[in-house]
């Protein structure tokens, strides 16, 4: 078992609802999410990076480190992320703060947040900030383990979002589905 796995487990035991999973995402899921990034469309932000399982696959997709920023609210995960991803900007901040940094400039946002575990007003705050920061038409890429789209219907309606169900990753524990959200 890796150091990341044990750090993840410790933080999950400390804050089960904040972390929202018992293990980091698998490589196949990270790769599938990263495959939806258009590297020529502008900077990319990952929210809820954890120990960097998805970040690693975003980097493997040949993004320049200075084009990638991470928002992770857990300080211990941030320390690990800074050590692992040289040149990537790590914000020990909530995803909700993203729109203080960009407005209509991002090419994609990749989310590892457990959004459906969060109250609807919090989902709304996060999605509002994400879609304020994204360029028109650019995607928010989000995975879920469940059968429903991973953003509450009320939030989608209020913000005018549409979604596409992309791939199902059977080789993840548990199997996960990738969704793309865009402003309609």
Which residues are near ligand SAM by CB under 6 A?
Answer: 18-21, 24-25, 47-50, 53-54, 71-74, 77, 94-95, 112-114
Nearer to ligand SAM, 162 or 173 (CB): 173
How far apart are CB 78 and ligand SAM at their closest, in Å? Answer: 9
Phi, psi dihedrals of residue 80, rounded to the nearest 5°:
-65, -40
Contact 109, 128 (CB under 8 A): no
How far apart are CB 162 and ligand SAM at their closest, in Å? Answer: 23
The 10 Å CB-count burial string (b at 16+, else e) for 29-62 is bbbbbbebbeeeebbbbbbbbbbbbbbbbbbeee
> What are the distances in angstroms from CA 130 to CA 134, 157, 173?
6, 15, 27
Q: What is the C-alpha radius of gyration for the chain, rounded to an integer number of angstroms?
A: 15
Nearer to ligand SAM, 25 or 99 (CB): 25
How far apart are CB 147 and ligand SAM at their closest, in Å? Answer: 18
Nearer to ligand SAM, 42 or 114 (CB): 114
Phi, psi dihedrals of residue 12, rounded to the nearest 5°:
-65, -40
How far apart are CB 126 and ligand SAM at their closest, in Å? Answer: 6
How far apart are CB 95 and ligand SAM at their closest, in Å? Answer: 4
CA gap 96, 127 in Å, rounded:
8
Nearer to ligand SAM, 14 or 165 (CB): 14
């Amino acid at each position: 078992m890796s150091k990341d796995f044990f750090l993840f487990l410790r933080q999950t035991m400390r804050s089960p609802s904040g972390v929202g999973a018992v293990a980091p995402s698998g490589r196949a899921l990270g790769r599938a999410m990263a495959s939806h990034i258009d590297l020529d469309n502008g900077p990319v932000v990952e929210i809820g990076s954890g120990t960097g399982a998805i970040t690693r696959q975003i980097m493997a997709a040949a993004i320049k480190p200075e084009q990638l920023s991470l928002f992770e609210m857990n300080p211990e995960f941030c320390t690990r992320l800074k050590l692992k991803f040289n040149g990537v900007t790590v914000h020990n901040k909530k995803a909700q703060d993203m729109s203080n940094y960009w407005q209509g400039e991002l090419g994609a946002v990749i989310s590892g947040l457990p959004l459906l575990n969060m109250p609807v007003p919090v989902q709304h705050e996060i999605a509002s900030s994400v879609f304020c920061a994204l360029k028109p038409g650019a995607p928010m890429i989000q995975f879920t383990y469940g059968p429903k789209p991973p953003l509450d219907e009320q939030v989608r309606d209020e913000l005018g979002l549409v979604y596409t169900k992309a791939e199902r990753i059977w080789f993840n524990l548990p199997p996960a589905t990738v969704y793309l959200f865009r402003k309609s």
